[in-house]
Chains A and B, each alone.
Chain A
Amino acid sequence: MNSPKLTACFRFAKTCSRQGGLHTRPRGAVRWPVLMAIPLGLGGCIQVNAPDEAIVIELNINIRQEVIYQLAADVRDNIDENPDIF
């Protein structure tokens, strides 16, 4: 009975640490959290200085492609609902 609980905790722990890593990565510009984080032993994460612009462009491409795939179903309905203009 105890073992499922334990595995659940492990999963949560993994997700949390992953998210923490993502959040701290693009933090180059903000200095205050950096100072606060050093005593917590997260100094290593802060060294990674990813260029912000590159991340933004990549996200835009992903969203566009995703939107097109999400629209596919509505677009097919649209043809059925308006056969006179298609």
Chain B
Amino acid sequence: MPTSMRTNATNFAKAGLLGLTALSFAMPTAAMAQRDPAYAAARANGAIGEKMDGYLGVVGNQDASIRKLVADLNIKRRANYTQRAQSQNATIEEYAFTQGCVLINRTQPGEKYQAPGGNWQTRGAGAPQRDPRCP
């Protein structure tokens, strides 16, 4: 095989590979994007926690970047709850509350969540304290 042809072939292969990688990046971000690293870190170190009402809360005094992160995510959550509640013939509060129940249930050990009394708790190895109305 001449050198020029070989480089052409490798270039073509490279382009194909690039295209595939681009596709595989583009598809999951549209369908199943994962948590933003800053959000994941704030959850892990207990700066933010899951509230009973289905929204995120800032635990104690945190800097402005954390507060903005929480506010932005809560706006997205509210839009999501509004849409899903409508399709389920429920109120936004009912949907958000149920979501909160499940989100608190799914917190990882070390993460913060709001107990029925309203105070922040750190999730341990056992089940979290939840509202008696939770499913």
Contact = CB atoms under 8 A, between A and B. Distances in A.
Contacts of A84: 33-36
Interface stretch (B1-9, B17-25, B91-99, B116-124): B91-99
A85 to B, nearest CB: 5
A62 interface: no
Contacts of B98: 68, 71-72, 75
A71 B94 contact: yes
A79 B98 CA distance: 12
B77 A79 contact: no
Contacts of B99: 75, 78-79, 86
A64 B133 CA distance: 9
Main secondary structure of the interface of B (DSSP, over half): helix
A86 B103 contact: yes
Given A79-B103, A79-B106, A85-B73, A68 B35 contact: no
B15 interface: no
B90 interface: yes
A53 interface: no
Interface residues of B, number: 24
Interface string A38-76: 000000000000000000000000001101111110111
A4 interface: no
B127 interface: no
A83 interface: yes
A7 interface: no
Interface in B69-124: 73, 76-77, 80, 84, 88, 90, 94-95, 97-99, 101-103, 106
Given A71-B94, A72-B135, 12 more contacts: A68-B97, A68-B101, A68-B134, A71-B90, A71-B98, A75-B99, A76-B102, A78-B80, A79-B103, A83-B35, A84-B35, A85-B80
